[in-house]
Amino acid sequence: MSDTLAPAPDQPKAAGRSALRSLNFTPRFWVSIVLIVLVALFAFVGDMLYPYGSNQRVGSLFDEPTPQHILGTDNFGYDVVALLMASTRNSLYNGLLAGTIATFLGVFIGILAGYIGGWFEEFLMGVTNIVLAIPAIVVLILISVSIQGTNLQFLKGIIGMSLVIGFTSWPWTARSVRAQASSVATREHIDVAKLSGARTFGILLRDVLPYLASYVVMAWVLQVASAILAESTLSMLGLGPSGTASLGVELHWALAFNAVANRAWWAFLPPTAVLTIISFALLYLQSSLDEVFNPRLRRGKKKNLAKAAERRAEAARRLAAEIEAEVAP
């Protein structure tokens, strides 16, 4: 037991570990990454290998699964697997675009408010709070309805949908980034930067943003997940992009044609499953990144934990022995 206290023979080696290794990625991280990669492969590579197109009528209304069409057909007679690939792809595009827009806006507004402070902060946060107070889904529905009524083809598609979602879901990111930015703004290195004559935007970019980077990455992952869900919600209500496949649109048509009562499980279960996997994987990724970035949440491997516990127990025993030895004479 005493050898555990001696300098570990592998310590010099530890210094040589790769940077990636030292990030201490947990199994959670790897599980979520594998799920995300699988979904992405299915969406982006799958349709190159799959023989049927997503806009190709191969059967009739809700044909049952057959060896050729392993998930049958939807209400338009399209192959569900082909449709699912196109839908997943569009939903991922939507999530990435909308999530990036929302994160960019949120970080921009939050960091400005938090760093500059004063009336400017009050003003920006006032606007943010007002936007937060309005239920996002109501705003989304109203904008979607009016966009679908126009003749702007560009906005009616999946890109328009992403823009709408991106421009309405930044407020909570802005609020939390502001809180972090205002704490960073009081640190000494900011004063040093100011004294050395750096410009405000330079400070924001080089001296404030890096301290928030871990949070921003996690917020982005969450924004991507919630954008995918928001699009699905709208599409399921029938307010989705016109003439484009997406997971929500698939669910909309499945519901409209009573897939549940018709026992056509292949029409509504696959998109539901893909949606669940995507949002689960993204949320899981977010929580595993949290562990990577926040040392307090960091958990070691099980055997290391056991060793550490033994080490602490041994130290306590020795302390007790020392005290006993002191008291004894």
Partner 1 sequence: MSDSVFEKPSRRSFLKLGGVAIGGLALAACTGGTSGSSTSSSAAGASSAAGGASSGAAAVTMLGVGNNGQVGTGRSGTSGDTLFICGHQWGPPANFNPLSPTAAWPATGNNNQYIYETPLRWNILTGEIMPGLCKAYTVDGLTITLTMQDGVTFSDGSACTAKDVAGTFNLGKRNEGLSIASFFSDAVSIEATDDKTVVVEVSDVTKNTAQVLRNLCENYVLPMAVFDAIADDALPTEQMDNPIGTGPFPLSKADATQVIMQRNDNYWGQTFYGSLPCFSQLIHPIFNTNDDSQIKFQNGEIDVAQAFFAQIWKMWENGEPVGTFLKDKPYFVPGSMPMLLMNTTKPGLDNPVVRRAIATAIDYAAISDTAMSGYSGEVQPSLIMPSGAEEKYFNASDAAANGWKYDAAAAEKLLTDAGATKGSDGIYVLDGTRLGPWSMITPTGWTDWEAACEIVANSLKAIGIDCSTNFPQQADCTNDIQGGTFDMACWYVSGVNPATPWARFKDVMSQSEMKPVGTTTFANYGRWTNDTVEALLTEASSAADDTAKKAAYDKLDALYRSEVPACPLMYRPDEFFEYNATNFYNFPDEDNAYAPPMLRGAGNTWLFKLQKVAG
Q: How far is the CB of 256 from partner 1 (least distance, A)?
A: 4
Q: Which is nearer to partner 1, 153 or 304 (CB)?
A: 153
Best CA proximity match to 76, nearest among 53, 92, 94, 42: 53
Residue 145 within binding range of partner 1, rule CB under 8 A:
yes
**Rounded CA separation 55/27 (Å):** 39
Q: Which is nearer to partner 1, 65 or 77 (CB)?
A: 77
Residue 60 within binding range of partner 1, rule CB under 8 A:
yes
**Rounded CA separation 73/71 (Å):** 7
Contacting partner 1 (CB under 8 A), which of 17, 57, 199, 312? Answer: 57
Contacting partner 1 (CB under 8 A), which of 49, 133, 261, 327? Answer: 261
> 147 to 186, contacts with partner 1 by CB under 8 A?
148-149, 151, 153, 156
Residue 138 within binding range of partner 1, rule CB under 8 A:
no
**Token pair in block for residue 16:** 């040589």
**Token pair in block for residue 41:** 């492969």
Give 73's strand partners.
79
Best CA proximity match to 264, nearest among 80, 57, 99: 80
Residue 253 within binding range of partner 1, rule CB under 8 A:
yes
Residue 62 within binding range of partner 1, rule CB under 8 A:
yes
Residue 258 within binding range of partner 1, rule CB under 8 A:
yes
Q: How far is the CB of 157 from partner 1 (least distance, A)?
A: 9
Residue 266 within binding range of partner 1, rule CB under 8 A:
no
Q: Contact region for partner 1 (CB under 8 A) — 107-115, 143-151, 185-193, 277-285? A: 143-151
Q: Are 234 and 140 in contact (CB under 8 A)?
A: yes
Q: How far is CA 66 from CA 45, 62, 72, 80, in A?
A: 23, 12, 6, 11
Residue 272 within binding range of partner 1, rule CB under 8 A:
no
Sequence-separated (6 or more) residues with CB below 8 Å from residue 170 = 101, 102, 103, 105, 106, 109
Contacting partner 1 (CB under 8 A), which of 54, 75, 279, 286? Answer: 75
Residue 117 within binding range of partner 1, rule CB under 8 A:
no
**Token pair in block for residue 186:** 């009081």
The letter for the amino acid at 89 is: R
Sequence-separated (6 or more) residues with CB below 8 Å from residue 294 = 214
Residue 262 within binding range of partner 1, rule CB under 8 A:
yes
Residue 42 within binding range of partner 1, rule CB under 8 A:
no
Q: How far is the CB of 264 from partner 1 (least distance, A)?
A: 9
Q: How far is the CB of 238 from partner 1 (least distance, A)?
A: 6
Give me the 182-211 binding string for partner 1, x by CB under 8 A, dash otherwise.
------------------------------
What backbone phi and psi angles, to 5 degrees, belong to 71?
-115, 25
Q: Which is nearer to partner 1, 95 or 241 (CB)?
A: 241
Q: Which is nearer to partner 1, 29 or 62 (CB)?
A: 62
Contacting partner 1 (CB under 8 A), which of 29, 52, 257, 266? Answer: 257
Task: Give the residues lining the site for partner 1 (CB under 8 A).
Answer: 55, 57, 60-62, 75-77, 145, 148-149, 151, 153, 156, 238, 242-243, 253, 256-258, 260-263
